[in-house]
Structures are given as C-alpha cells and as structure tokens.
Amino acid sequence: MKLLAILPALLPLVAAHFNVEAPPTRGGSEDTQPMFPCGGPTEPSRERVKIPLDDPKLAIAMEMGHDQAAVQVLLGLGSNPGSNFNISVVKTFRQVGLGAFCLPEVSFSEDVVGFKPKDGMEATIQVLSNGDPKGGLFHCIDAVYTMSARYVKPESCKNGTGVEAMPFSGEAANRNANESTPNGQPQGGSSGGSGGSGGSGGQSPSPTGNAAPLQTAAVWGVLGAAVAGGVALL
C-alpha cells in the first residue's frame, strides 16, 4: 500500500523529459540531454534535414515532459558549429502543458537569420527546453539549405490538450532559455543556468550579434498567431 501511495508522486519525475519528434535530431539520451551543446552527440548527422531555399521554414514537433518550460530555437552555421549557436531564430518563450507541442513554421529566411542563404549551405538548429531548476535540455537538428526541398508539415506537428505558448517581452525574451525560469525570470542556483546538473554540460553562450533581437522579433511577427494565439489551429 505504501508503494502505491508513492507511485503518483514519482510520475512527474518519470515524465520530466524533452524530445524533438520531428525533424530528426542527432540523438542522445535522457542522461545526456542536459549536456550543452546538442544534448551529448558531438558529430553531425549523416543525413541532414532539408530547409527549402525558396521558402526557408521547418516545423519543429516536440514532446514536453515538464508542465511548463522556457523554450528557444538557435542556429549555428557550418557543417559542425560546435558550441557556436549565435543566431537566435525564435526568442525564448513560455510553453505550458504536457505532451505534444509544435512550432509549425519556424522561419530560417534572410530577414530572420541575418544572411542570404545559399544552396548547399549547412547549419545546425539547437532547440532548448528548460523546465528544471538545474538547467535546460538540448536537441540538435543538422540541416542544409537546398533548392530541391519543399515545406511539409509532419503528422507529428500537433498540440496536446491544454498546451499553450506565449512570448516573453523585454529582458525575458532576450534571456537564454537555459538561464530562464518558465516564468521568464533569471534562473537561480549554484549552476548559474549552466547546461546540465553536476557540471556535466557547461554554460550555453547567449546569442551574439547586433541583429539577433531584430531577427527573433521577426519570427514572432510571423509565428505569433500560430504559436502564441493559434496553437489550437494545428
């Protein structure tokens, strides 16, 4: 009987995970997800996700294991950018609700990323979710811009019952998700917002460059209805 009484209390701990369901990621495990960068894997995927050059956007489908989290999408250029994820594609925002959650049209166009994409240009997308006082969880998607691709929303791009998302403003939006609480406040504790508990990850750098705030503001202009106000439309 005592065991049965304890089990409900353990369920939130078991469910406290974060996965990117689509596009395919580098991989990793729940043990390595707190490690910056990319949740552990250091080598890029052999098969890269194709970003359509004529309409540069992707849907990012996730499975959320915290009932609330700060979420952010970053971009690093090159075949393997290491820890140089210095382009903020989607500013840090608040996500609420367990289960399926999707950003249906994340833009990687010139006005967002700050450069003119070319056919064959390689990059890596990093998705951060932080619903834990010890720091965030990371996934990386290796990608390539190409003329041969077209945007397709995957079947996994949907939102669970009660799932909501809303943008932060001011300093909260510009703060790295790995250093933010789900409410947009600076994350406290001895870890200082570093990637992972027990010092396993190292601190994730804030995106640099003067254009970063303008880039992400453009994203919310395009995605605001789909993410913050129109989640139920998926």
**Positive or negative torsion for Cα 108, 112, 118, 121:** negative
More confident residue, 151 or 217: 151
Task: Compute the mean pLDDT over every residue in the chain, rounded to the nearest whole number.
Answer: 81
Given this model, what pLDDT does residue 218 score?
34
Answer whether residue 33 shows pLDDT above 80.
Answer: yes
Considering only residues 85 and 17, tell me which one the structure prediction assigns the higher pLDDT.
85
Q: In what order do the strands lie in the sheet with 87-96?
A: 49-52, 137-146, 122-130, 68-77, 87-96, 164-167
Query: Domain spans of the chain?
Result: 15-233
Structure tokens at 81: 């950018």
Q: What is the pLDDT confidence band of residue 191, given thresholds at 50, 70 and 90?
A: very low
